[in-house]
Structure 1
């Protein structure tokens, strides 16, 4: 039975289930990247991250001691020892003497070799190689074995990524690009949004229509003309074209239409009585903007900051065009893309780099998420 609010219990329950489903759907891959980034590189190859806490079984190979280590016991020539430097630290499940059958025999069984020789490898790694005739040769018997390894987590992957792979420098480059490219459009758009929402001047409607039209202009279509304009200005003033200023201006230009549209919709929904009361008290437009509108607009400012920060942080195209691809200029997404080509088989490097890439956006989002929905929805019903 539907309640007065118009929402039945079944409907609200379905919404909660859907939200929970999408939360789990997005959380599981992130958790997998985090766990994999902390795992030992050999265990990443051997098993999936969901098995990381239960250990893994890895197939390895090695050589037994040479013939010089043999001893004669009870009429047989015997070579004894342990495959592990620390006996008992790992457990052998199976072993073999051929690469095509590395787990042919279970641990503890006696395997028959050629010329009457036998080999027994126990679970603790101890082995006994016996033969009725003396062993010859300087190289020992090659053996293969599948051994269980306890779960091992390490920070070595992060040390390698941040200090050896150049990710640290790219991380700083991304912060240098993203923070100003988020703050600058907010500052400009806030002033423009207030003017378009509460000030009357000729051409106001045309400017609003132009801003709405710019929302649908693809970035790729405007990128080359903008680059040519910027290079021409840089050449005219005799300054380098590949600078942080260039990419800040580029991201500001691409982010301003959405920022102005979002902020204006919010500011236009603020109570008109507040503005009129402030004007009666003698406040100027600048004082109204700074002391009344900006504090009340913090939710929408935070919402746009999340959008802009995520977009700039994850950007690769604009960064490559306006900043360059040199070692000192490469942003985090560019460095990760380079690692995919050069270190594609090193999963510990890739997962660690990926988590370093997403950790800052996660911090920004969860820091401002309480304002996110409120900032987007406020002003969507009432407009100025």
Structure 2
């Protein structure tokens, strides 16, 4: 049995260690209930927000399926009381209207080429401004940034006179060129800033391996910039698809998109809900399909750069 140790003469006596203070805080059950309550509140807010956004879409869809007489006499919510009256007759009449069908395809012919041209040209220009050295690069980029503050309305009449002089006024090509010209400044600015975040060492390693600028751009920069390219494509497509101001001025009756055609139908036949509702819903479905098809890339593009 070992003897108790004694302090050496003259040595200071050891102070007793203070007892650990009890940890303060909420009990586990209280913390768990607080987290559950906060999560439930957030979910309720999200559900209410979704209902606010979805309700007009649901009303438009049900109105497009109801007979014209029912739409004129009662609200769309009464369709739940008698679902048997819903049919696709309005869509049949819509597709039988050659003017609206042509307007739909005009919208496709305007939106798709515009989106492809804007994304393609902006990707090339963004890479050049970010990683290529050429005379006047910074000055030209400042001019591009300055064009962002120019409103679209300022260029409508001058460009309309120019297109009329060269024979492009009233055509699908003229509408596409106008959208490309006014969509490029923002697109170049966005992609240049995104491409500039690519590590320089990665590009230098590719050049040391013998890769040319075009090969680096297509094999390295474009795959890395896919989230930004997808986000830009979605924004540009939605902007052009829903545009009415530019098309109303630059497109004639043979080149008008769906937005202008529906506006014309509403002006002539304001109570013809049987044609307007399915046409409006059709113009709304296509952007939704495009958005949900690229949703994953869109979220990656929005979150890019938020964390290191």
Q: What TM-score comes out, normalization by structure 2 length? A: 0.82
Q: Which has the higher contact order (CA 8 A, sep 6+)?
A: 2
2:245 is the alignment partner of 1:317: yes
Residue of structure 2 in register with 1:296 after alignment? 224
- Residue 268 (structure 1) aligned to one of 196, 199, 214: 196
Gaps of 5+ in 1: 3-7, 56-149
> CA, structure 1 residues 13+282, in 2 after alignment: closer, same or farther (shift >3 Å)?
farther
Residue of structure 2 in register with 1:22 after alignment? 49
State the SS of the aligned residue for 2:187: helix
Does structure 1 retain, via aligned residues, the 8 Å contact 2:160–2:169? no
How many residues are treated as equivalent by the alignment?
A: 276
CA deviation digits over 1:221-272, x for unaligned, max 9?
A: 122222233333x1xxxx4533222222111001001111111121111222
Residue of structure 2 in register with 1:354 after alignment? 280
Does structure 2 retain, via aligned residues, the 8 Å contact 1:40–1:153? yes
- Residue 368 (structure 1) aligned to one of 294, 300, 304: 294
> CA, structure 1 residues 16+214, in 2 after alignment: closer, same or farther (shift >3 Å)?
farther
Give the superposition deviation at 1:275.
Answer: 0.7
Whose strand fraction is larger, Structure 1's or Structure 2's?
1
Residue of structure 1 in register with 2:149 after alignment? 216
Give the superposition deviation at 1:323.
Answer: 2.2
Does structure 2 retain, via aligned residues, the 8 Å contact 1:314–1:333? yes
Does structure 2 retain, via aligned residues, the 8 Å contact 1:230–1:241? yes
Residue of structure 2 in register with 1:306 after alignment? 234
Residue of structure 1 in register with 2:138 after alignment? 205
C-alpha separation in 2, matches of 1:18 and 1:200: 50
C-alpha separation in 2, matches of 1:298 and 1:268: 14
C-alpha separation in 1, matches of 2:305 and 2:156: 32
Gaps of 5+ in 2: 1-24, 27-33
> CA, structure 1 residues 11+202, in 2 after alignment: closer, same or farther (shift >3 Å)?
farther
State the SS of the aligned residue for 2:85: coil
- Residue 72 (structure 2) aligned to one of 21, 45, 52: 45
State the SS of the aligned residue for 2:177: helix
- Residue 339 (structure 1) aligned to one of 260, 265, 273: 265
C-alpha separation in 1, matches of 2:235 and 2:124: 19
Larger Rg: 1
2:59 is the alignment partner of 1:32: yes
2:98 is the alignment partner of 1:152: no
> CA, structure 1 residues 230+45, in 2 after alignment: closer, same or farther (shift >3 Å)?
closer
Does structure 2 retain, via aligned residues, the 8 Å contact 1:181–1:248? yes
> CA, structure 1 residues 301+152, in 2 after alignment: closer, same or farther (shift >3 Å)?
same
CA deviation digits over 1:163-204, x for unaligned, max 9?
A: 126211110111111110111111100000001111122322
2:97 is the alignment partner of 1:164: yes
C-alpha separation in 2, matches of 1:253 and 1:282: 35
C-alpha separation in 1, matches of 2:157 and 2:242: 20
Residue of structure 2 in register with 1:254 after alignment? 182
Whose helix fraction is larger, Structure 1's or Structure 2's?
2
4+ long deviations beyond 6 Å = none
RMSD after superposition:
2.3
